[in-house]
Structure formats: structure tokens, C-alpha cells
Amino acid sequence: MDILRFATAGSVDDGKSTLIGRLLYDSKSIFVDQLEAVERTSRDRGEDYTNLALLTDGLRAEREQGITIDVAYRYFATPKRKFIIADTPGHIQYTRNMVTGASTADLAVVLVDARNGLTEQSRRHAFLATLLRVPHMVLAVNKMDLVDYQAEVFDRICEEFSAFAARLDIGDLTFIPMSALHGDNVVDRSANMSWYDGPSLLHHLEHVHIASDRNLIDVRFPVQYVIRPHAATDADLHDYRGYAGEVAGGVLKPGDEVLHLPSGFTTRVRRIDAAGVEVPEAFAPMSVTLLLDDDVDISRGDMICRPHNRPAAAQDIEAMVCWMSSDQPLARRSRVIVKHTSRTVKAMVTDLHYRIDVNTLHRDEAATQLGLNEVGRVRMRLTQPVFCDPYTRNRTTGGLILIDEATNATVGAAMITEAS
Amino acid sequence: MRPDYQISQLDALESEGIHIMREVAAEFERPVLLFSGGKDSIVMLALAEKAFWPARIPFPVMHVDTGHNFPEVIEFRDRRVADLGVRLVVASVQDSIDAGRAVEETGRHASRNRLQTVTLLDAIEEHRFDALFGGARRDEEKARAKERVFSFRDEFGQWDPKNQRPELWNLYNTRLHRGEHIRVFPLSNWTELDVWAYIEREKLDIPSIYYAHERQVFERDGLLLADNPFVPRGQDEPLFTAMVRYRTVGDMTGTGAVASVAVTVAEVIAEVAATRITERGQTRGDDRVSEAAMEDRKREGYF
């Protein structure tokens, strides 16, 4: 059994909480006492229905305001897969939290109310999921019961979205008509929409092929930690020098010739340990320890790759940035700290090429700064090189976070487009 | 061998936990692992052992001791710590009370649960810990479902749920000013069943009270509490003998047992998979105070 991480985007009005509630309920992942607590609170507030949003909106402020502010993670499993739901907020002022949820997702479910069709919000959600390179997207056209389950309504929304999606780079897009409230096409195929011959949402989530979403070609091993037991009494341990980290790309096997960056020195993999046992191969997202044939001076922040397939050692990078600070904007000459894999360096913004309107995709080349939740393309100069790939090629070696030097707050996320 | 290069869900969770452990060891000066002898902290300690193998775990473990523990758990704690050769720091709630830092609650529902926060924050300050591993899981409780893996605490130990650091990919912001710290939750994405499945797969030793045994208990507010010297029993709370096990392990004063016949891990898993009540709902008095009891305690610096 493997894990599928998916993010849901949409507002309460689109039926997102009802959808999650139904997935959890129908997979028996809601417990009796949780349901009772929700029913009690709904009753106390004088609501005449059980408000399933109270299950996912876990913070006091969220329940008071009736909106989702931050990502909530929910878990359920079927005999096929374990699922991690990142339930993300839909409002534009919480874009940074939606981006947090999307960054680790294999699939994004974008909810649309069949009565309203595509809105500015659904376009934004689709754009952000694409910006974060979520490999699979489902456009869930919800509340089909309120449009009499008409195929024409569904077809029209699909056409409109396809036209918009053509401007994005969406790897795999699936359209599903549903009614979360009545359970149509959520877990079981709907009897009300015989014109639809695709899968239910859960069936799609269980079967979507995610194994090949990872990069299994370019070997990338950012060194995270060096393990040296220093046990003078045990000869085996005395010489143990292991380079620990999480494989970010490719497949590593004992005997493979590898290259160390920044030195450029080549050696071979002698052995691979994973969680205390020797393994025949390592690939993403395994955390392993590499033992090499030669003694090379290797430390945290270094990169191990193959001799003829190296990442860029870049000090100047072009990146799409999502800015997350309300304190101050990002502008030319802004200074930040950059964390990229296991390396942390300082950086300065040398250029802001454009700001992108997250609702219309319009590029504003006259923009001079990025405010909270704004997205734009920037150029940055780093004090030291990072070993990176374009984000489209590798989500791990292509992504970095920006940290404020004074407050230590995480103020941005960046996706590398080019590096030199 | 594996043409599609897949790993199982337990391997993926284990790998993520190990990555988190190593990141903390690399980036913080004075980490510590909170070890209560409960099943989640047992799994966490097992991950720490694997993350640094064959070297020793490069940080101490700490137990916030209410003095109201199950003796079986304390015995287990000491044995496990001795086996691993790690240093154990015990922060005692009784010491906080004796020093006047905390005031014992009185009455029928008196508990040292909330007082632990004082003891914990004092210990963090005294030992200058900058990162604390906790075994909390997001599936346990709705406020925990909102928390980051690396969760920032200000100089008062407080959590600000409305202003959490965005957490993207597996890139964790570990930067702090003096006096602040981070709570790190390597089991964030594990469910109760994942924890049990891992205990089974790894054949991890756990305290005997997790298995069905005969015990003298009494019923209060729907919980089966163990007969113990710390909770005065009312006239209307007679003792009786029952076959029980513990689904969670906390204080004797506030942790309820569940009726059970499970004497092996596989049998426990079968019971957990069949239950329709959450573990905290079934066994913890402390979460019944209000809808936001956990959020409120977490804001103050609770685990």
C-alpha cells in the first residue's frame, strides 16, 4: 500500500468541507465522538443541519468566522491506499497556506459550484496548483443536483476550464461531475448521471498512477548529515563514515560511479544503508546513508550525483516567487536567506521581471514589488552556489524557501526556472 | 525487483521521520526528545535509533514526570533508556509544586495535566533546549491537525496558530532568536493504526499495560480509571475487576482504560481497527473541558 497526498482547494460554499466529510465518513474515518461533538456544536449554534466544516476547521478563529484559515491535514485509508488530505483555504488572503498544502501534494482537487461555473477563485487555485507542479488535477464540478444533473452544464464548465488550462501546463487533468451532499460520484458511481462514464472521485484517487511522477533519472543526493560513530573499540565502526540524506532523484546502487559537488571528485558507492539495514538500491523519497569507496571531504550542503548528469552549481537563479510576508514587500535589492535542500545561503534580489495576476494570469512588467500572496518572476544573486535543477525537472532540487534575516519568518517560496 | 520503485506507506512515513530527525540534529545546538514511555514516543525513539545508526542518538531524552505515572511505564522508560545508552532528563512536576512555580489543583477532578506546561517550559529554559521532538500526531485532535511539523514557539513557549510559518516541501525553517524554540513532530502524518502497524513490523517492545490484563478499576464520567493512590474515590464509585488495556498512556489520574481481550499486537490492531471512538475521546479526561481544550493548552506551551 502506498500513500497519495492530495490537496483540496475551494471555499466552504463550493462544498469542500462536505466533500471531505463524505470521503472520511464513507471510508469510516470519522469517529462517533467526533460526529457527536460536531452535532452538539451545530445544535448549540442553532444550525438546522450538521455542519461538517466543523470537523476540519480545527481552530477557534476558524469556527468563529466559518472559514478555513490554515491547512488542516486529514487521514483516511482504503484497502488500496493511504490518503493524506491537505485541506487548504480558498480565500486569497490565505494563499500562502494554500501553497504550503500544495507543495507536497501528488494531486489537487479544485472544486467548482456547478451553478456558478468557473470563478476567479477556481482559476487562482488551478494556477497555484500548477505553479507548485502538483502532477495531477481533478476539476470537481460539485452541486450537480442543483442543476438537475444536466450533462450540458458539466460540459460547458469543462470546455471553459480546458480553454483556461491551455494557458497553464497541467500534466494530467480529470473532470468529475458530483454532488458531495448526496454522494454522487464521490465514492460510488452516480445513478443520476448515466451520461458520465468516468470514475468516481475515490476510484480515481485510488488508481491514479503516481509512481512515475518522481524523477528516477537524474541522481541527486543532497548530503544532510554525516554519520561517524567514533567508536574506537569496534573496528567496523571506527572506520564507518556515512553520508545521510533523502534521495531527491534517480536510483542509486552499490558500485555506481558518483560525483561529489562542489569538489568534482568521483568515487563509487560501496554500500547503502537504510534505517539500519543494507539495501540493494535507493530512490526518492528514501532516507538512506551512503558509504563511498574513497575518503572524500564531504559535508552537509554538498551534493552527490552522477559524473555525466550534474545539477547546475548556480549563484544566479531565475525563479517564480510566491511572497508570503505582510510586513514588507519583495523588491529589487531585497535581502533574504535562502534554504535550498540542506544548504542555507544569503541572497539578494537583483531583478523583478514581472508580477503575475493570480486570477487572470496577466503579467504586469511595470511592477516594482511583490506584496503578500503575490507571485512574480525574479532574479536572485546568492552568496554561494546551490546545486539545483529547474523546478519542472525536480521539485526537491528546484524549490527553495526565503527567510527574513531579521525576524526569521518564512517570507517566500521560490521555484527555479533557470540557473547559471 | 521493484520495476516501479515504490515504497510502502510505512516505509515512506519512516523515511520522512528519519529525514526530520537528521535535520534537527544538523541544524540545532541543543535538541531533546520527549519520551514518556507511551507508544508514540517509543516509535519516535526507534526512528532516532535508525536515523543515526550505527552511531548513538546525538541528543538526550526528557520525561516530564507528573509523579502520577503507571509504575509499568516508568520501569519500561528506565529500561529502554539504559539499553540505548542515552541520557535521561527528568523534569518533575512535584519539584515545580515544591518550588512554588505551580499550584496543585484540588477537588474531584484535580489533575497535574495542565501543570506539566510549567515544568516543561522551566526545563526548556534551564537546559537551554532549542528543539523538542514530540510524538503528537495530526490525526489525534483537530488543533493538532493544523500544526506544522516544525512548530515555532516564542520566548514564552507559546504557539500562535494564526501566524504559523509556511512550511513547504521538506524544507524546514529552523532559525531562532535566543530563548525561542521549535517543537518538532516527526510522527505528524502517522495515524494510530500506522503506529501499531509499525510496532508490529519492527517488533518494538512496549509497556505491558498496552495489552489486556486484569485490573481493579472504577467508572467516572464514562472513563474506566485504575484504582490508584492519587484519585480519591467517591462512595458511588465502587471498584470492580475488569479485563482492560490502555489505548493511550498518560497519568493514572486522567487516563481511562478500555475493555479488551487483546494480548498480542495483532489483536490490539484488530481492536483499534474496529473501534468507532477516537483514542483521546475514549481515554482522556483532559480533552473534555471544551471544544478548544487542546488549542488552548497548546497556545500556552503544552506538548
Instruction: Answer yes or no: is pLDDT of B21 > 60.
Output: yes
Q: Does A375 touch chain B (CB under 8 A)?
A: no
pLDDT at B290: 63
Closest residue to B173, CB basis, from A231, A240, A410? A410
Q: What is the pLDDT of residue A30?
A: 77
By C-alpha distance, the chain A residue nearest B16 is: A287
Distance (Å) from the C-alpha of residue B50 to the closest C-alpha of chain A? 5
* C-alpha cell recorded at residue B182: 521549535
pLDDT, position B63: 96
Cell numbers given for A391: 523546478
Residue B266 has pLDDT above 80, yes or no: yes
pLDDT at B1: 43
Tell me what pLDDT residue A232 has: 62
ipTM reported for the complex, 2 dp: 0.93
Mean local confidence (pLDDT), A53-74:
75
Residues 6+ apart with CB under 8 A from A153: A114, A141, A144, A147
Give the whole-angstrom CA distance, residue A134 versus residue A130: 6
B231 CA to chain A: closest CA distance, Å? Answer: 26
pLDDT over 90 (residue A69):
no
pLDDT at A41: 78
Between residues A299 and B302, which one has the greater pLDDT? A299
A225 touches chain B (CB under 8 A): yes
B81: Cβ–Cβ under 8 A, 6 or more apart, which residues?
A: B35, B61, B88
A369 pLDDT tier (thresholds 50, 70, 90): very high
CA distance to partner chain A, nearest, from residue B98 (Å): 35
Report which of B42, B26, B75, B291 is spatially closest to residue B187, judged by C-alpha positions. B42
The residue among B18, B27, B138, B147 with the most chain A CBs within 10 A of its CB, best to mutate, is B18
Banded model confidence at residue B113, pLDDT cuts 50, 70, 90: confident
- A298–chain B Cβ distance below 8 A for any pair: no
pLDDT in tens, A126-181: 999 999 999 999 999 999 999 999 999 999 999 999 999 998 988 899 999 999 88
- In this predicted structure, the answer to whether residue B288 has a pLDDT above a threshold of 70 is no
Provide the residue type at B139 as one letter: D
Does the pLDDT at position A68 exceed 80? no
Please report, rounded to a whole number, the percentage of residues in chain A having pLDDT higher than 70.
96
CB contact under 8 A, A70 and B146: yes
Closest chain A residue by Cα to residue B23? A224
All 3 cell numbers of residue A359?
A: 486570477
pTM: 0.94
Task: Give the other-Cβ count within 10 Å of B147's Cβ.
Answer: 26
Sorting pLDDT into bands at 50, 70 and 90, what band is B155? very high
pLDDT of B260 higher than 70: yes
| Residues in CB range of A107: below 8 A, 6 or more apart | A4, A5, A6, A7, A134, A135, A136, A137, A138, A205, A208, A210
With a cut of 60, say whether residue B9 has pLDDT above it: yes
Interface test with B, best of A57, A68, A69, A73 (most B CBs within 10 A): A73
Q: How many Cβ atoms sit within 10 Å of the Cβ of residue A360?
A: 11
Q: Are A137 and A105 in contact (CB under 8 A)?
A: no
Window 64-83 of B: residues touching A by CB (8 A cutoff) are none
User: CA Rg, chain A, in Å?
Assistant: 24
Q: Cell numbers of B71, please?
A: 509504575
